[in-house]
Chain A
C-alpha cells in the first residue's frame, strides 16, 4: 500500500485525535465533488463493505479512492473497512450557530478501537465561513453526545480554516461542532465515517517508531488538560501501545508503570 502515514503522524493522531492534510485533492475534482454533493443522496446500508457500497463512478467515488486518501484510510482502519455513514454538511450563507460542542452518535467505550471520520472541504473555507471546530485531544473523554454544548469555549479549540482540497481525518470521539457562516456563500463539508474490520495494529508506516520525536508528540498539551494531563497521557500511551504493537511502551515518568508494577503478584496474576 502506498501513501501510508508516518509513525510521527500516527502518534499525532493518537495524541490529538485528528490529522489535517492540505491540497490532497486536485482543483478540478474539488469542483466536481462540490457540484455532486447537493444531489448525492442519503445513507447507504450501514456496516457494509465500503468498496462494494460506495459508488465507483462520479467525483465522490473517485475522491475516496485517490491513492493518498486510500493510504490514509488504510493507515488508520486497515484494509477492507466498512461503510458507516456519510453526510454533506451544509451551513447556508449568513446562518448563525450558537454553542454546538458535541461528540458524535452515542457514547463509545470500546477499547483498542476507533472509527474514523474523513472531512473534505471542497472550496476555500476562510475563518468567517465557519469551518467545523474541534477540541484537539478530547477523544478519550466519553460523553453523551450534546451534553457538552455547555462548553462554549475550550482552551485549545481550533477550527477548519483551510484551502479547497483539504482533508481532516479524525477519531469519531473527538469533541467538535459547527460554527456560524458569516459569508454570502453556502459552506459545504462532506464527511464519511468508516469502521475497521480487523485489529488496528501496524497499518501505518512503522519504520520510525524509535524517533525521539514520538514521546514529545504523545506528550502534547493542547491547553485544556490542566490537572488531568497525566490521565490523558496514560490514555495516549495505552492506544499507542496497541496501534504500534509495543505492549510495554511507556514514556517520561512512566505513569503506566505506577499502575502495573506489582512484584508481590505472581506473573499469571499481573495480567
Chain B
C-alpha cells in the first residue's frame, strides 16, 4: 500500500513547541477521507509537539507571534496559535 499524509494539529495558547496543547485534531488520511464517528479523547496523544517529533512527526507549521493592540489586547476568540505536524502512514481501505 502507498504511504499518504496524516496530519495532527495542536491548538495552543502560546506558539512554542514545548507548550501543552489546549485542543487537538487528527486528519488521518491513511484511515479515511472524513471523521465519521469522533471517539472522545481526554488527553492529547502527546504532551507537546516536541514529544510528537520524537515519535516521528514532522512540524510543517509553527505559529507566528501576534501583535496586540489596545483595542484587541483583552479580547478572546479561537485559540491563537497552532502547530501542524505531519507523518506518512500506509493507506488503509476506507
Contact = CB atoms under 8 A, between A and B. Distances in A.
Contacts of A99: 25, 35, 38
A66 interface: no
A150 B76 contact: no
Residue among A151, A153, A235 with the highest chain B CB neighbour number at 10 A: A153
Interface of B: 9, 11-14, 19-26, 34-38, 40-41, 43-44, 74-80
A228 to B, nearest CB: 5
Contacts, number: 83
Contacts of B11: 150-151
A97 interface: yes
B77 to A, nearest CB: 5
5 contacts: A96-B37, A142-B76, A152-B24, A155-B23, A225-B22
A154 interface: yes
Contacts of A179: 38, 40
A14 to B, nearest CB: 15
Nearest to A235: B76
A224 B11 CA distance: 10
B48 to A, nearest CB: 11
Given A99-B25, A180-B37, 9 more contacts: A98-B38, A100-B38, A150-B9, A152-B23, A152-B24, A153-B44, A159-B40, A226-B12, A232-B76
Interface residues of A, number: 33
Contacts of A153: 23-25, 40-41, 44
B23 A154 contact: yes
B25 to A, nearest CB: 4
Contacts of A228: 13, 76, 80
Given A153-B44, A155-B23, A225-B22, A148 B37 contact: no
Q: Which 8 A-B pairs have the closest CB atoms?
A: A226-B13, A96-B37, A224-B22, A227-B13, A151-B23, A152-B25, A98-B35, A154-B23
A251 interface: no
B75 to A, nearest CB: 8
Contacts of A227: 13-14, 19
Residue among B19, B41, B79 with the highest chain A CB neighbour number at 10 A: B79
Contacts of A151: 11, 23-25, 79
A141 B13 contact: no
A154 B76 contact: no
A117 to B, nearest CB: 20
B14 A141 contact: no
A142 B40 contact: no
